[in-house]
Amino acid sequence: MADKITKTDIEWQEQLTPEQYYVTRQKGTERPFTGEYNDCKIPGTFECSCCGVALFTSDHKFDSGSGWPSYWQPISEDAIISETDNSLGMARTEVMCAKCDSHLGHVFPDGPEPTGLRYCINSLSLKLNEKD
pLDDT tens track for 20-79: 999 999 999 999 999 999 999 999 999 999 999 999 999 999 999 999 999 999 999 999
- Which residue numbers are catalytic? 120
Q: Residue 94 carries which side chain, given as an amino acid letter?
A: E
Q: What is the CATH number of domain 9-130?
A: 2.170.150.20
**What burial class does residue 24 get, using C-beta atoms within 10 Å of its C-beta: 0-12 exposed, 13-18 middle, 19+ buried?**
buried
pLDDT tens track for 68-83: 999 999 999 999 999 9
